Chains A and B, each alone.
Chain A
Amino acid sequence: MLELRKLLDKVDQMSQDVADRQQLYGDLAQEARAVLADTRVDEELHAKITAAITAESTWRGARPLEGALDRRINPQARAANFSLIGVDGSQIYPDRHGPVLYYLLNIGSIVMRVGSGQAPVTDTRPELYYSEADLYDQNLNLVNNEWVNGRRELAEMRALADLAQAERLYYAGDLEPMILAMKDGQLTMWMGERAQSAEKKQQLVRYIACLHDIQQVGAVPIGFVGRPRSANVVRLLWVARLPQSEITRERVNSSKYRALTDRALFSALLGPNQRSALFASTGRVNREDFAQAGQRICFFYLNIARSNDPAAARIVRVDLPEWATQSPALIDKIQNAIYDDCEGTHFPYVLVRADELAVVSQQEKRNLDSMLAVSISQITGHMPLDSAKAMAKSQSRHYAT
């Protein structure tokens, strides 16, 4: 039970604090935009970036890939007929208090052939994991949610690669039609706490192999971040302001702009369907694993709003491999395709639908638990039950609602 009246004073304080911070961040963002406009992309800047990485190996800044930091690009080229693939995943985490120990991944996908007038092809791939090898790590600990998320991320990328290959076959191997293979979230793999574990490294190798598979069929993998919290460019600006001799670990980590996001930076800069310059994240996994495999991930920010009002800007981040950015015309086509697909939904339609297909509701989870319990009881003669704790909580919550 949440007694709201006990929070009234705190809510007032918090509201004032949020308002004060908005004012502060607005001033900081304006200052950062001035730095963005004044900073030249030259050897000195690249040397500072290298120095920042040397000083702090985990520094997640940005390396510019185009001639100016404050570029605003309106796309010219537009693809007439192309395929948009959207994939998203959902999961049921292992539940110690459930009747049976398992976890489930459900991958939803949609393939939309833009310009064809055809109904898209949709699919779901549910997969149950219940063996000891699935459920326990090398130290015999039950796998945690982060581990399951990693498996889901890998399954999403595998589905994207499979669908991209199938789609190129649909075009009989003709490389002319553009194929975009899109997932929700960043394109680099989230490494988390187990970044150095053997299993995670293995997952990463398989994930990057999927990117290769997509590249081989001439498709482009895309990571779409709808409300980015990243601050790679803001961190770059802080380092750009520092004299070369002052780029130390301590100085790199004491950014004046640490509370700012790139979204705040670009929201007053980009108009509808304008993109920023291209950048590559300097994060370690991108630098070491993705780049060394020829799959360095870069990104641009894009305003998907229809209105010219800066207050209504919807800044999103688009991740793609560097090899897909070598043709300006292809970047233009990608930009237009994403912008168009966001019309009406403020998010790529194919990802809205992939999410809808993938999502597993609480009711569906309960139905699956019941199905498993009945099936097991028919073999063993005993009905597996929720733990006493789970049942007690379920009953008390039922009465509370």
Chain B
Amino acid sequence: MNHADPVLGRVLRSSTTGYTFGFSQAHTQPPAFGALVKTAVGDSHVFGLVYDQRVMDDALVRQIVASSDSLSEERIQDMRMRRQTPIEISVLSIGYEQGGTIYQLLPPHPPDALQPIFACTPDESRRVLTSFQYFRTVLDNMECPSEELLVASIRHGAGCQPPGQAQPYLIGAGRELTRLLAHDHQRLDAILRRLADFFNATHSLPEVPYG
């Protein structure tokens, strides 16, 4: 992990399956739904998918919203960029790296409180999302919107592939999904339909923020 990388925030609470961190970068957008982020646990790096973002409120925000017909742009910017109204981001752990090897398994230990969180580079995302064993981790998780998260993650993974490799990547992902959900056609159909449009447009993949 490069110390020059911007810290997205720090861990508030964690468990083996995931963690929640407080986003602290006032001048940048939070990582997108399905983006891959990382944090250190001992001598390993734990990777996870962003699956929820909560913008918290407080009494002043509620008062202003309730009693002002029009809000000045300065107040809006103050609320968004200067006040310490927390943005909490939840992450599902899908794998870890130890000794140079990436394992698509739940990490042995959760990250400690206040551990810094970093965005993954496109190269890291490509390495971590190369295989599809983590699909089972996502599909089995009851706390996250698993179908939506898997679609977003596959799109990110495809967007990080070298030129011309996105379609083979998507085909591989589709095959793995078909194998995993052979007994659940409705769920498989829901995911594949969401991916179909993207599959047909892979010749002009969008730039993927945070890998």
Q: Which A residues form the contact surface with B (CB < 8 A)?
A: 110, 112-114, 116-120, 122, 343-345, 349, 352-353, 356
Contacts and interface: CB of A to CB of B under 8 A. Distances in A.
A344 B77 contact: no
10 contacts: A113-B74, A116-B74, A118-B74, A120-B78, A343-B67, A343-B68, A344-B67, A344-B68, A344-B71, A345-B67
Given A117-B77, A344-B68, 11 more contacts: A110-B82, A114-B72, A117-B73, A119-B78, A120-B78, A343-B67, A344-B63, A344-B71, A345-B67, A353-B78, A356-B60
B190 interface: no
A119 B81 contact: yes
Nearest first, the 10 A-B pairs at minimum CB distance are A344-B68, A119-B77, A117-B73, A119-B81, A344-B64, A344-B67, A122-B82, A120-B78, A112-B74, A119-B82
B81 to A, nearest CB: 4
User: Which among A112, A119, A120, A349 has the highest number of chain B CB atoms within 10 Å?
Assistant: A119
Contacts of B67: 343-345
Interface in B74-92: 74-75, 77-78, 80-83
A112 B77 CA distance: 10
B77 A120 contact: yes
A10 to B, nearest CB: 33
A118 to B, nearest CB: 6
Contacts of B68: 343-344
Contacts of A356: 60, 83
A120 B60 contact: no
B37 to A, nearest CB: 26
Contacts of A113: 74
Contacts of A345: 60, 63-64, 67
A361 B63 CA distance: 22
B170 to A, nearest CB: 41
A122 B80 CA distance: 13
Nearest to B70: A343
Interface string B58-69: 001001100110
Nearest to B74: A112
Nearest to B27: A119
Interface string B88-117: 000000000000000000000000000000
B77 A349 contact: no
Given A112-B74, A114-B72, A349-B75, A120 B63 contact: no
Nearest to B78: A120
A100 B147 CA distance: 57
Nearest to A119: B77
Contacts of B83: 353, 356
Nearest to B64: A344
Contacts of B60: 345, 352, 356
A119 B74 CA distance: 5
A119 B72 contact: no
A210 B52 CA distance: 50
A42 B133 CA distance: 92
B146 to A, nearest CB: 37
A353 B61 CA distance: 12
Contacts of B71: 344
A118 B73 CA distance: 7
